[in-house]
Amino acid sequence: MQQSEYKPYRYLGMITVLYVAMQLISDVTAGKIINLCGFPVSVTVLYFPITYIFADILTEVYGYACGRRVLWTVLACSILAGLCYQLVVWLPPADGFAANDAYIAVFGQVPRILFGGWIAVFAGEILNDFVLAKMKVASNGKHLWMRLIGSTVLGQFVNTSLFYAIALLGVLPTQLLISSILSGWGIKVLVEILLIPVTYWVVKRLKAVEHEDYFDRQTNFNPFLINH
């Protein structure tokens, strides 16, 4: 099936907005480490995997190029938000405003976390999309569950490793950092596996409603292209 740059899609805009929202939420909460089943992990392991579900849906239904464009949109929004967070920290508070230290405590740590997040999100999710698209062509569209798990295992490992290494190296002891990477990776993969029935249902519905089931047989997989 041929994909048109100008083909009107009913739900692409909604998926993009939700994708952006989950990324921005993750940006400002990723620095909080919680204890989950005895493992120290970023609180975002509970909901960040949803962004990978969005990426899977976009690539599976609309194709790699569409997923890549949305990913660049997500990154642009995250960068804009990050600059605004720093403006909030930099601007002096008005007389009588007593909560400034709280804003600084939360948003002041964001630059390193945001930078780590940007690198990790781009590398992990573009790899996830690439693997999913290639596996779809190789399997002729069969075994969606295998494609979802395979792309997630690789993409989430790269994402988690890069994020913790960039954002939290030197903040956490080395042993704790390594255990956080492994436990965070495992939990993210587990969350996505548990949500596979939901992903299946959404993908099936979207393919029917959008009249699209794109195969990336002639796609340019350059990750730095935006409008192709």
Question: How many Å apart are CA 107 and CA 104, to the nearest integer?
Answer: 5
CA angle 78, 81, 82 (to 5 degrees): 85
Strands (E), 124-194: none
Given a contact cutoff of 8 angstroms between Cβ atoms, the answer to whether 79 and 118 are in contact is yes
Question: How many Å apart are CA 90 and CA 73, to the nearest integer?
Answer: 26
- CATH number for the domain that contains residue 154: 1.10.1760
Predicted confidence pLDDT, tens digits, the chain (228 residues)? 445 455 789 999 999 999 999 989 988 887 787 887 776 777 887 887 888 889 999 999 999 999 999 999 999 999 999 889 889 989 999 999 999 998 888 787 667 777 887 898 899 999 999 999 999 999 999 999 999 999 999 998 998 899 888 877 777 778 888 888 888 888 888 888 999 999 999 999 999 999 999 999 999 999 998 876
Answering whether pTM is above 0.85, one says yes
Element (H, E) at 76: helix 64-90
> Which residue segment(s) compose the domain that 99 sits in?
12-210
Cβ contacts of 175 within 8 Å, gap of 6 or more: none
Question: How many Å apart are CA 36 and CA 188, to the nearest integer?
Answer: 12
In-domain check, residue 228: no
In-domain check, residue 216: no
In-domain check, residue 168: yes
CA angle 218, 199, 60 (to 5 degrees): 5
Question: How many Å apart are CA 172 and CA 94, to the nearest integer?
Answer: 35
Given a contact cutoff of 8 angstroms between Cβ atoms, the answer to whether 58 and 14 are in contact is no
Give the dihedral sign, CA 137/141/145/146.
Answer: negative
In-domain check, residue 5: no
Total of domains in the chain: 1
Question: How many Å apart are CA 125 and CA 58, to the nearest integer?
Answer: 11
Enter the tokens of residue 138: 């190789």
C-alpha distances out from residue 11 to 56, 62, 82, 208, Å? 15, 11, 27, 12
The pLDDT, as a whole number, for residue 65 is 94
In-domain check, residue 36: yes
Cβ contacts of 134 within 8 Å, gap of 6 or more: 216
In-domain check, residue 161: yes
In-domain check, residue 152: yes
The pLDDT, as a whole number, for residue 186 is 87
Burial of 115 (0-12, 13-18, 19+ CB in 10 A): middle
The pLDDT, as a whole number, for residue 157 is 93
Secondary structure letter of residue 40 according to DSSP: E
The pLDDT, as a whole number, for residue 3 is 52
In-domain check, residue 44: yes
Question: How many Å apart are CA 220 and CA 135, to the nearest integer?
Answer: 16
